[in-house]
C-alpha cells in the first residue's frame, strides 16, 4: 500500500489495520517514496477475518442469469 505523510499523521489507525493484515506500507512525501513500514507478520501468517469473502463458494449458478435476475423490474402490488 502507498500512503502519504499526511495519511501517516491523520490516519495512523487505518495504517495499523493494514499492517496487522500483513501488508507493507510505503510512505511518500511530495510524491516520492521516503519510508517503508514493514509488518512484523507475514501475509500468510495472518488469519483473514473477511466474513463475506468466499461466502458463495459452494453455490453453482450462471453469472449472466444472476445479473439478469437482479436487474429485473420489480412489481409492487399496491391496493
**pTM passes above 0.85:** no
- Show the cell assigned to 7: 495519511
* pLDDT tens digit sequence for 33-78: 999 999 887 656 666 666 677 777 777 878 788 888 888 877 777 7
CB 9 within 8 Å of CB 27:
no
Report how far residue 69's alpha carbon sits from residue 66's, in angstroms, rounded to the nearest whole number: 5
Report how far residue 25's alpha carbon sits from residue 16's, in angstroms, rounded to the nearest whole number: 10
Start-end of H helices in the chain: 5-10, 12-20, 63-71
- Show the cell assigned to 32: 516520492
Amino acid at each position: 500500500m502507498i500512503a502519504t505523510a499526511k495519511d501517516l499523521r491523520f490516519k495512523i489507525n487505518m495504517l495499523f489495520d493494514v499492517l496487522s493484515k500483513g501488508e507493507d506500507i510505503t510512505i511518500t512525501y511530495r510524491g516520492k517514496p521516503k519510508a517503508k513500514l514493514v509488518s512484523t507478520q507475514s501475509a500468510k501468517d495472518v488469519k483473514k477475518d473477511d466474513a463475506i469473502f468466499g461466502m458463495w463458494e459452494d453455490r453453482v449458478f450462471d453469472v449472466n442469469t444472476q445479473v439478469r435476475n437482479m436487474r429485473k423490474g420489480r412489481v409492487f402490488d399496491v391496493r
